[in-house]
């Protein structure tokens, strides 16, 4: 429950971030303060100070072009940057146990921190790793010219609902080239980059994608739904040039990659740890090694990551149905799973390290996951520090407590911050 109350804390004992958030103003708007309070059956309630303001916006500082790949339920780079700037120094390890497209790890690397990431879906490392060591646009162009896209052994005809037959042949030829290089151990950094870009061009709603008009690129629809979209829009898939679209997206991703960026990335990439496994078990990370965790887990069963990524999985040779992505209908099951992850985070965090855990409102605001997550961190021995609610574009109907995601022009991120004592 969030209520607008004051927390009586002596000024000398307040962490710096608390003082900063209390004093923060955005466009003259003071930070609103409340407490989030969670009653527990067998102990005293958990009570943390809660701050609401527009602490970061997408316009505040243009994000680096390397982030511009789509992924369902990704957060903006400004979110991890807010915590990286406040809780870490250059060289420190910044970790995301639910890495997704890799927003935290890329932002950490750009800030000269040591990135670490984990995701149960192999697709995640395929999206993140190439952007830690981006090749030059000319190298990509040369490699694209050298790959024979005129012939493929397999040709899944059912995908013609998305693609012109000649485009589909090129996609299949590229897929077979990449899979063959991978299985022979000859896949290099340029191939990995091409795979990452191709994955991001597979489907979308503009001529910049391989497909005819379809859902946004982070959500592949089913073959049956696409057939219905085509019939409704009276459309047939137009011819797209796979090489040209990959080269164009490469140039766009590399827009901000100057020599200084490449040097910073190189230093960070050499120290990076990217894992494909459950976030609850990460033996590759040493105990007491991580300074900051910035992450966003699956929100119960709200997003169907397997369904949204089926076509990407096909292209990359991933059996998406076999990946055990956490999906929980009941809050208690989700809390049990998150508590297992928090125990692991408590192990890898260094004393004094922080966790910034982003969650959302689900079930039309009936479930506030920031309240559900507080007991998970506490049960793992972490100290609950505060809740940050970043609310963009307030409207008359959206007051600061219980601002709904993506409704009435509002967009909120709710971040529960813990510290290892
Ligand atoms: C909300 S998304 C993270 C998005 C990320 N913050 C970004 O900006 O791209 C949640 C991620 O958790 C991953 N995931 C689901 N269950 C997992 C588990 N048990 N262990 C690790 N990762 C998991 C999903 O594959 C998905 O990529």
Looking at residue 193, its pLDDT comes to 98
Residues 104 and 96 sit within 8 Å (Cβ to Cβ): yes
Rounded distance from Cα 74 to ligand 1 centre (Å):
9
Q: Find the helix packing angle between 242-253 and 137-146, rounded to 10°.
A: 170
Task: Return d(Cα 339, Cα 351) in angstroms, integer.
Answer: 19
* Alpha helices (H) along 45-102: 78-87
Task: Answer yes or no: is the C-beta of 313 below 6 A from any ligand 1 atom.
Answer: no
Task: Answer yes or no: is the C-beta of 120 below 6 A from any ligand 1 atom.
Answer: yes
Strand runs (DSSP E) across 80-124, as ranges?
A: 93-96, 114-119
73 sits in the region (left: phi over 0; alpha: psi -120 to 50; else beta) called left
Looking at residue 407, its pLDDT comes to 41
User: Ligand 1, residues 119, 304, 339: which to mutate, most atoms within 8 A of Cβ?
Assistant: 119
354-368 average pLDDT score: 87
Residue 258 pLDDT level (bands cut at 50, 70, 90) = very high
Task: Return d(Cα 78, Cα 56) in angstroms, integer.
Answer: 6
Residue 48 pLDDT level (bands cut at 50, 70, 90) = very high
pLDDT tens digits, one per residue of 398-420: 343 343 444 444 568 899 999 99
Boundaries of CATH 3.40.50.150 in the chain? 2-121+259-303+327-419
Q: List, in sequence order, every residue forming a beta bridge with 119; answer none if it has no partner.
A: 276
Task: Return d(Cα 84, Cα 50) in angstroms, integer.
Answer: 20
Secondary structure class of 388 (helix, strand, coil): strand
Long-range contacts, 133-138 (Cβ 8 Å, 24+): 133/189, 133/265, 133/266, 133/269, 134/66, 134/193, 134/253, 134/254, 134/257, 134/262, 134/265, 135/189, 135/190, 135/193, 136/254, 137/247, 137/250, 137/251, 137/254
Secondary structure class of 170 (helix, strand, coil): helix
Q: What is the pTM of this model?
A: 0.93
pLDDT above 90 coverage of the chain, percent? 77
Res. 393: pLDDT tops 90: no
Rounded distance from Cα 349 to ligand 1 centre (Å):
19
227-254 average pLDDT score: 98
Of the CA atoms within 13 Å of residue 10, those in its CB half-sphere come to: 2
Sequence-ordered list of residues with C-beta below 8 angstroms from that of 356, at least 6 positions apart, any chain: 80, 83, 87, 292, 293, 294, 295, 388, 415, 416, 417
Residue 396 pLDDT level (bands cut at 50, 70, 90) = very low
| More confident: 300 or 1 | 300
Domain 2-121+259-303+327-419 has CATH 3.40.50.150: yes
> Which residue, judged by its Cα, is nearest atom 13 of ligand 1?
98
304-309 average pLDDT score: 88
In order, the DSSP letters of 256-299 are T--HHHHHHHHHHHHH-EEEES-TT--TTSPTT-EEEEEE----
Across the chain, mean pLDDT equals: 91
Strand runs (DSSP E) across 158-309, as ranges?
A: 273-276, 290-295
């Amino acid at each position: 429950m969030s209520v607008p109350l004051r927390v009586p804390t002596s000024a000398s004992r307040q962490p710096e971030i608390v003082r900063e958030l209390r004093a923060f103003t955005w466009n003259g708007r003071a930070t609103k303060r409340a407490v989030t309070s969670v009653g527990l059956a067998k102990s005293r309630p958990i009570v943390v100070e809660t701050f609401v303001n527009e602490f970061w916006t997408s316009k505040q500082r243009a994000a680096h072009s390397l982030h511009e790949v789509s992924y369902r339920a990704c957060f903006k780079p400004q979110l991890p940057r807010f915590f990286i700037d406040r809780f870490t120094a250059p060289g420190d390890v910044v970790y995301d146990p639910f890495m997704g497209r890799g927003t935290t790890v890329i932002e950490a690397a750009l800030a000269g921190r040591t990135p670490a990431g984990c995701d149960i879906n192999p697709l995640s490392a395929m999206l993140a790793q190439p952007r830690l060591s981006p090749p030059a646009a000319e190298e990509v162009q040369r490699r694209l010219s050298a790959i024979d896209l005129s012939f493929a052994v397999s040709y899944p005809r059912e995908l013609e609902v998305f693609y012109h037959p000649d485009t589909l042949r090129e996609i299949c030829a590229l897929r077979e080239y990449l899979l063959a290089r991978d299985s022979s151990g000859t896949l290099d950094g340029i191939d990995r980059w091409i795979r990452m870009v191709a994955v991001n061009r597979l489907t979308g709603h503009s001529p910049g994608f391989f497909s005819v008009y379809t859902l946004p690129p982070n959500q592949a629809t089913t073959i049956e739904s696409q057939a219905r979209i085509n019939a409704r829009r009276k459309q047939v898939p137009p011819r797209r040039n796979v090489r040209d679209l990959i080269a164009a997206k490469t140039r766009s991703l590399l827009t901000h990659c100057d020599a200084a960026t490449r040097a910073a990335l190189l230093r960070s990439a050499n120290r990076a740890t990217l894992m494909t496994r459950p976030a609850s078990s990460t033996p590759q990370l040493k105990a007491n090694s991580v300074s900051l965790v910035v992450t966003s887990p699956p929100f119960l069963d709200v997003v169907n990551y397997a369904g949204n990524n089926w076509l990407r999985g096909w292209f990359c040779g991933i059996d998406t149905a076999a990946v055990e992505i956490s999906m929980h209908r009941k809050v208690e099951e989700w809390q049990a799973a998150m508590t297992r992850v928090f125990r692991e985070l408590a192990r890898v965090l260094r004393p004094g390290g922080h966790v910034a855990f982003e969650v959302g409102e689900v079930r039309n605001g009936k479930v506030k996951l920031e309240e559900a997550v507080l007991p998970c961190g506490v049960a793992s021995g972490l100290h609950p520090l505060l809740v940050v609610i970043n609310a963009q574009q307030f409207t008359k109907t959206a007051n600061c407590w219980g601002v709904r995601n993506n409704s009435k022009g509002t967009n909120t991120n709710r971040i529960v911050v813990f510290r290892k004592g």
